[in-house]
Amino acid sequence: MSQRSKRLPRAVREQQMIDAAIQVFSERGYHSAIVTEIAERAGVSKPMVYLYLGSKEDLFLACVRSCARELTAALQEYARPELTPEQRLWQGLTAFFTFVADYPERWNVLYQQAAKHGSTIAAGVAEARDQILLDVTRLVRDDPATGQQTPPDRTRMSDKEAEFVARALVGAADSLTDWMRSYPDEGPEQVTRRLMTMVWVGMGNAHAGQIWSPPG
Amino acid sequence: MSQRSKRLPRAVREQQMIDAAIQVFSERGYHSAIVTEIAERAGVSKPMVYLYLGSKEDLFLACVRSCARELTAALQEYARPELTPEQRLWQGLTAFFTFVADYPERWNVLYQQAAKHGSTIAAGVAEARDQILLDVTRLVRDDPATGQQTPPDRTRMSDKEAEFVARALVGAADSLTDWMRSYPDEGPEQVTRRLMTMVWVGMGNAHAGQIWSPPG
């Protein structure tokens, strides 16, 4: 982390600064974080941080983008076409909760710190979130029976319906990260199983066009 | 709204100022909102706003508390013990989505504006959110078959499990308010039915201790 060699390629050095900044932003919050500490932890000078990554706001935005890129990459690993939708959802949720458990500081920057900020940063976060929603929507739209996208002539689930399910899933998963933190004996695998228990049957029903009706 | 009578009781006048402030904070955001505009819309002088409600931060916190109180009251109406858990969840979700549809500016202050702020305000919001989580957890813990809390000797769902389901529900519902805004043809009733479709069977399974297992 704190190798001082001048020979490091720019991209590597930038990533070192970003990694240090993610730690500091996560621990202190945006407003209390100071660039001096970030520079120290990255083993570079403060002017070098400004030179490479710009203002504190620019640096924070770079952190948000880096965290979003890593989360998206972690989620996309599951998207192998040979898996059934059930397997992909299971593995996607496992990947998500594993990311949150393994990199709490990245999740903190992406979810809690970034929510507090103005338009430029909010736009960066919204972009990452939209990409994830899009991936989940595509997953939901696939036919649970065949694992393929339902052919147009027998599409039962519209984009609107798939977006509904995707938003509910993403909202539930985001919210459950707090629960996972409260119960350290429950790891990503258990959280995923519990969430699958709660939503998988209902997703199948929604896909088949069966809508719940009020009792009585 | 803009009655200028000096005879109004203090509580009524305060609520008028708070209602005006909710509108302005929702439209402009906290930082761009100015107390002059709030005073104008409430039909009072700017010094009177400061005298009654304190600083802009105090005023915002009063708005958050007022919105939280109204949402909690709307949700608690459903908690009649003669209803089954299914009916209560259905009516609770309907009450929630109706509140969001009818008072978008209140939901905006409570959910989007408040999330951006520092410790005092965040604590006020966290308190409101914890109260709602507690209510939903209690609802979830009730036996779906009898509508009563399961007696201790046959409790199948622990507090931990009930909190899991409650957090997932609250997270999904929060997230779906964006979906409802994107599809104006879908009202609170439809959104509730869709969410019930997605979670009700699974909640019953979780309550009965059936945990989903990975396929294959």
Q: Is the dihedral of CA A113, A115, A119, A122 positive or negative?
A: positive
Segment of A111-120, A205-214, B118-127 carrying the highest mean pLDDT: A205-214
Q: Is B165 an 8 Å CB contact of chain A?
A: yes
Residues A179-216: pLDDT tens digits?
Answer: 999 999 999 999 999 999 999 999 888 888 888 998 87
Residues of A in contact with B173 (CB under 8 A): 171
Name every chain B residue with its beta carbon within 8 A of the beta carbon of A86: 215
Lowest mean pLDDT among A140-144, B56-60, B109-113, B204-208: A140-144
Contact B176 A168 (CB under 8 A): yes
CB A149: neighbour CB atoms within 10 A? Answer: 12
| Nearest Cα to Cα of residue B79 among B71, B88, B87, B70 | B88
The runs of H, that is alpha helices, within A54-213 are 56-76, 85-102, 104-107, 119-141, 159-182, 188-207
Domains of chain A from N-terminus onward: 1-54 (1.10.10.60), 57-207 (1.10.357.10)
Could you tell me the pLDDT band of residue A101, with boundaries at 50, 70 and 90?
very high
**What is the Cα–Cα distance from A135 to A129, expressed in whole angstroms?**
10
Per-residue pLDDT tens digits for B161-216: 889 999 999 999 999 999 999 999 999 999 999 999 999 999 888 888 888 998 87
What distance in Å separates the CA atoms of residue A89 and residue A79, rounded to the nearest whole number? Answer: 9
Nearest to B114 by CA among B44, B67, B48: B67
Whole-complex ipTM = 0.84
- For residue A171, what pLDDT is reported? 92
Say what the alpha-carbon torsion angle A131, A136, A141, A143 is, to the nearest 10 degrees. 140
pLDDT reported for residue B154: 44
Is A28 within 8 Å of chain B by CB?
Answer: no
**Residues of A whose CB is below 8 A from B202:** 197-202
Interchain contact, A171 vs B169, CB within 8 Å: no
